[in-house]
């Protein structure tokens, strides 16, 4: 049986015979099943990367290729654009196990209003028809479509029943009884008024909310002047609903372009994507999705998501591309994607990665939503609980780590020593339980002593309140672990688990002079050697996340204290000079230097200062002056 080195040598030889032209490669297993499809600018160079020693490609399936890959098929194309198209078709055809498949179990929802009907109404449909009706959407989430429908049905008094019900009812339904439908099914109604309601709905769905609000406001005041207060109240409620909708549509940009903004959040092999949909310059919707065991790099993942979202994946029809796509990472094929989407749309589409300005702010919003959606989906799928269970098993913990607290010490050359307490409950941050500590009894750069003090204070309070965590996580190595262990022993704290997490560090360089790093290590009390978890495992990533959060929280607090110390003014030390008088002095005289140089007469001219305060300021900066010389108001 060939060794791993021999197997890779054979594949390298085969790769060297591939052309240097663009194309697509299909990796197959022993049964001829396609397990991965990729594209390349140069087939030879790209395929070689999989089998070279020291490859920078850390995707999970790369390590499986030696025992999995049995055959390699290539398709040569004339351009990268063609390669992108062929790759999409191959993924659609074979649905390889190591490619991302952007699946959806339904078509996107649309709202439909057929104004040619005797009594138009708002329907939810999944297909855009060519029947002359008005279509709105597609909405990229069912909740967004139904939320809009709820506002329409509640405030615009159109029927909600189907034609089969409309023409066969014998008495009004509950919607009529609560004032949401005029009941055209059985009652003679004002058809002009119904048409007015339909026109209002069309304006609302067209995004002409401000113009509609003006119309409704005018009707409200008109009804009030006629003392028709019941009608005025109806228009008032309608106006509030419109204004509330307008408030939620945060103004995103001044250019009013339609944009889709992509955000990514990754933890190991799991990846969350959020898409912020901006229409007419306003944020209209945000969708998010969790992908587990993602083997693609971020760049390839983005390409796949974009192609399947707009060109269509295995289970869905593609959406129309907007004017602009904003990406969280620069990708090599951005111009090719833009060209493809422009051809599909029949109008120019821009694809790029902004680094500053309003669009960069939108990207940050998308990234925040990706992280939030990631953890929300993890909760729904039980992934967080599985991670905590895995942590308990792999570290041999006595308790399920439902509540974890992490501690870090930060100091700047021995000054402003602070500690941080960060709490995770159910593997998610519980920020209302975060705490800062100013170290009081430890001086100098003694992190062990500072940690002992911080933990002692925390554990004393926890014993009194009977409020202790399941797991204590310490940022550091054996020294920090022993300091924490000593604090627990001295206070008699038992029954909770304790670990420390040591950061990865540079240990040398490889043959290409690139830095090599040690793995992150977990230290346990009483264990000689640390535990090394898989570096991309969910368990280690969770520990690293809480450790990094504790470090961030400590650094932020220390910076705040340093800034406060820098901003402290000598004026704060003067009796009778509070924040208001300090501001008045600086505003009137312009600077602290001018305050120091000012004579008593100048100080007396400061609004609101007064004789006694002016003398106190003058004596502070002129200590040789005699108080008796000016106590009667002389300058």
pLDDT in tens, 539-574: 998 999 999 999 999 888 878 877 766 555 677 778
Per-residue confidence band for 251, with pLDDT thresholds at 50, 70 and 90: very low
Going by C-beta distance under 8 Å and a sequence separation of 6 or more, which residues neighbour residue 549? 406, 422, 429
Q: Residue 583: pLDDT above 60?
A: yes
Find the length of the chain.
635
Can you tell me the distance from the alpha carbon of 340 to that of 320, in angstroms, rounded to the nearest whole number?
A: 12
Q: Which residue has the higher pLDDT, 626 or 21?
A: 21
Residue-level pLDDT at 110:
77
* Structure token digits, residue 79: 């351009």
What is the band of 139 on the pLDDT scale with cuts at 50, 70, 90? low
155 closest CA partner among 218, 213, 214: 213
Rounded Cα–Cα distance for residues 445 and 456 (Å): 18
Each residue's pLDDT tens digit, 87-119:
877 887 788 888 766 554 344 567 888 888 888
pLDDT beyond 50 at 635: no
Q: What single DSSP character describes residue 320?
A: P
The domain defined by 4-94 folds into: GIY-YIG endonuclease (3.40.1440)
The H or E element spanning position 388 is helix 383-395
- CA 6, chain centre distance (Å): 45
Confidence of residue 141 (pLDDT cuts 50, 70, 90): low
What would the CATH number be for the domain defined by 570-630?
1.10.150.20
Q: What whole-number distance in Å separates Cα of residue 211 and Cα of residue 537?
A: 54
Please tell me the least confidently modeled range out of 271-280, 408-417, 581-590, 612-621: 408-417
CA pair distance 108, 121, nearest whole angstrom: 20
Q: Does domain 388-557 have CATH number 3.30.420.340?
A: yes
Lookup result for tokens 């855009």: 128
Q: What is the dihedral of CA 618, 624, 627, 631, to 10 degrees?
A: -50
Q: Where are the alpha helices (DSSP H) in 468-517?
A: 478-491
Strand partners, 473: 406, 499
**Section 281-309 average pLDDT:** 79
Q: How many CB atoms lie within 10 A of CB 542?
A: 23
* Lookup: tokens for 276: 């912020």
**How far apart, in whole angstroms, are the C-alpha atoms of residue 407 and residue 422?**
7
SS3 475: strand
Name, in order, each residue with C-beta under 8 angstroms of 585's C-beta and a sequence gap of 6 or more: 571, 577, 595, 603, 606, 609, 617
| Among the listed residues 559, 534, 237, 541, the one whose alpha carbon sits nearest the alpha carbon of residue 374 | 541
Which has the closest alpha carbon to 297: 348, 249, 333, 248?
A: 333
Domain extents for the chain? 4-94, 109-248, 259-295+321-380, 388-557, 570-630
Beta strand segments in 99-155, E: 109-113, 122-125, 134-139
Question: Over the stretch 47-102, which tens digit does the pLDDT of each residue have?
Answer: 888 887 655 454 556 666 767 888 888 888 878 877 887 787 788 778 888 876 65
Number of Cβ within 10 Å of residue 182's Cβ equals: 21
Torsion, Cα of 552, 356, 264, 27 (10° steps): -120
What percent of the chain has pLDDT above 90? 19
Is residue 334 within 8 Å of 351, Cβ to Cβ? yes
Q: How far is CA 403 from the centre of its chain?
A: 23
Question: What confidence score (pLDDT) does residue 393 get?
Answer: 94
Q: What is the pLDDT of residue 399?
A: 94
- Indicate whether 575 pLDDT > 70: yes
Question: What letter does residue 64 receive in the DSSP assignment?
Answer: G
- Please return the burial class of 527, using the count of CB atoms within 10 Å of its CB with bins 0-12, 13-18 and 19+: middle
């Amino acid at each position: 049986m060939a060794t791993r080195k021999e197997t890779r040598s054979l594949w390298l030889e085969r790769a060297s015979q591939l052309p240097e032209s663009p194309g697509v490669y299909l990796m197959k297993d022993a049964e001829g099943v396609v397990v991965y499809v990729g594209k390349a600018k140069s087939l030879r160079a790209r395929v070689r990367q999989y089998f070279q020693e020291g490859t920078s490609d850390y995707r999970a399936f790369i390590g499986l290729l030696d025992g999995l890959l049995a055959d390699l098929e290539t398709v040569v194309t004339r351009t990268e654009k063609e390669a992108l198209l062929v790759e999409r078709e191959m993924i659609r055809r074979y649905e390889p196990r190591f490619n991302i498949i952007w699946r959806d179990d339904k078509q996107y929802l649309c709202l439909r209003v057929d104004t040619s009907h005797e009594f138009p109404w708002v329907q939810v449909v999944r297909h855009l028809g060519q029947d002359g009706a008005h279509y709105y959407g597609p909405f990229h989430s069912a909740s967004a479509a139904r939320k809009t429908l709820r506002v329409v049905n509640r405030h615009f008094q159109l029927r909600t029943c189907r034609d089969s019900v409309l023409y066969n009812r014998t008495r009004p339904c509950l919607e009529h009884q609560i004032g949401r439908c005029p009941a055209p099914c059985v009652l003679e109604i004002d058809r002009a008024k119904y048409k007015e309601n339909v026109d209002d709905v069309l304006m609302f769905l067209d995004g002409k909310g401000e113009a509609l609000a003006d119309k409704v406001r005018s009707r409200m005041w008109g009804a009030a002047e006629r003392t028709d207060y019941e009608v005025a109240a109806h228009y008032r409620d309608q106006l509030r609903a419109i204004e509330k909708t307008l408030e939620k549509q945060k103004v995103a940009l001044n250019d009013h372009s339609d944009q889709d903004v992509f955000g990514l959040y990754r933890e190991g092999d799991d990846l969350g994507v959020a898409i912020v949909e901006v229409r007419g310059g306003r944020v209209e919707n945000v969708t998010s999705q969790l992908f587990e065991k993602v083997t693609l790099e971020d760049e390839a993942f983005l390409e796949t998501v974009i192609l399947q979202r707009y060109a269509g994946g295995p289970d869905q029809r593609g959406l129309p591309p907007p004017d602009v796509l904003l990406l969280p990472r620069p990708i090599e094929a951005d111009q090719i994607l833009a060209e493809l989407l422009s051809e599909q749309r029949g109008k120019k589409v821009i694809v790029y990665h902004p680094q500053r300005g309003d669009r960069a702010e939108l990207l940050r919003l998308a990234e925040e939503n990706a992280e939030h959606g990631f953890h929300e989906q993890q909760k729904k799928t039980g992934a967080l609980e599985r991670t905590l269970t895995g942590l308990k098993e792999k570290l041999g913990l006595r308790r399920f780590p439902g509540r974890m607290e992490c501690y870090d010490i930060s100091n700047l050359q021995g000054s402003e020593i602070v500690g941080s307490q960060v709490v995770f409950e159910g593997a998610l941050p519980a920020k209302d339980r975060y705490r800062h500590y100013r170290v009081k009894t430890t001086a100098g750069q003694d992190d062990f002593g500072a940690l002992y003090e911080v933990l002692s204070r925390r554990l004393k309070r926890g014993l009194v309140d009977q409020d202790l965590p399941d797991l204590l996580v310490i940022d550091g190595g054996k020294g920090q672990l022993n300091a924490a262990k000593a604090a627990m022993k001295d206070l008699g704290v038992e029954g909770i688990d304790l670990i420390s997490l040591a950061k990865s560090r540079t240990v040398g360089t490889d043959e290409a002079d690139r830095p090599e790093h040690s793995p992150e290590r977990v230290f346990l009390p009483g264990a000689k050697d640390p535990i090394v978890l898989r570096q991309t495992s969910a368990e280690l990533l969770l520990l690293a996340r809480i450790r990094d959060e504790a470090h961030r929280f400590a650094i932020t607090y220390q910076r705040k204290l340093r800034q406060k110390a820098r901003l402290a003014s000598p004026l704060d030390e003067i009796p009778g000079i509070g924040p208001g008088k300090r501001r008045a002095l600086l505003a009137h005289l312009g600077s602290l230097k001018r305050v120091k140089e000012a004579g008593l007469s100048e100080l007396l001219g400061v609004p609101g200062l007064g004789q006694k305060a002016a003398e106190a300021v003058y004596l502070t900066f002129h200590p040789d002056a005699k108080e008796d010389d000016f106590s009667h108001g002389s300058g």
